Amino acid sequence: MRNRTGTKLRIKVPKELKGIDKVEIGYRIIDFIQERTREGLNVYGRPWSPKNEKSAGKYTKEYAKEKGYSDPVDLEDTGAMLDAIKYFKGKKGEIIVGYKKGTKQERKAEGNIIGSYGRAPNPRKARPFLDILQKDVNKIVKDYFKELEEEESED
């Protein structure tokens, strides 16, 4: 099920993962979410929609003027919000990434995720960027172990 409200994301990973491998995969998941969002893409790798004024696919006129463009919506001005995504200890077979409770960046992220921006939640304006498809997680895990194997064979 997709994460449409939370500022923390629970991700299923192989139960055998632990220690440095688990943490590094968690960090790579954060890298992936940051990069995809910076490119103006949602969890499915598509631009935010609907693409009209006052909705998720475009910045408002006033904000676009300040920013210099109305789309793609890359959720990056100073970079602080995306930079604040953290790794949290999860249960066995689970990785948690997201925002520390009560921080300014958590409130900013929540505004984007539920489309509230300090007001009532609005699904048309929502940009639930803190999410990842299971197939992308599986690819990250696979690539990580492939990289390790290659490194070991180089030694």
Q: Rounded to an integer, what distance in angstroms lies between the CA atom of residue 55 and that of residue 122?
A: 9
From 136, 80, 88, select the one nearest 109 (Cα to Cα): 80
CA angle 127, 130, 136 (to 5 degrees): 115
Q: Which stretch binds another protein (CB under 8 A): 45-53, 56-64, 86-94, 99-107?
A: 86-94
Binds another protein (CB under 8 A): choice among 26, 57, 98, 115: 26
Q: Rounded to an integer, what distance in angstroms lies between the CA atom of residue 40 and that of residue 129?
A: 10
Query: Which of 19, 118 has the CB closer to another protein?
Result: 19
Binds another protein (CB under 8 A): choice among 14, 87, 93, 116: 87
Q: Rounded to an integer, what distance in angstroms lies between the CA atom of residue 68 and that of residue 92?
A: 45
Binding mask 101-130 for another protein (x = CB under 8 A): ------------------------------
Q: Rounded to an integer, what distance in angstroms lies between the CA atom of residue 36 and that of residue 31?
A: 9
Binding mask 43-82 for another protein (x = CB under 8 A): -------------------------xx--x-x-xxxx---
Main-chain dihedrals φ then ψ at residue 57, nearest 5 degrees: -80, -10
Residues that bind another protein (CB under 8 A): 18-20, 22-24, 26-27, 31, 68-69, 72, 74, 76-79, 83, 86-87, 89, 148, 151
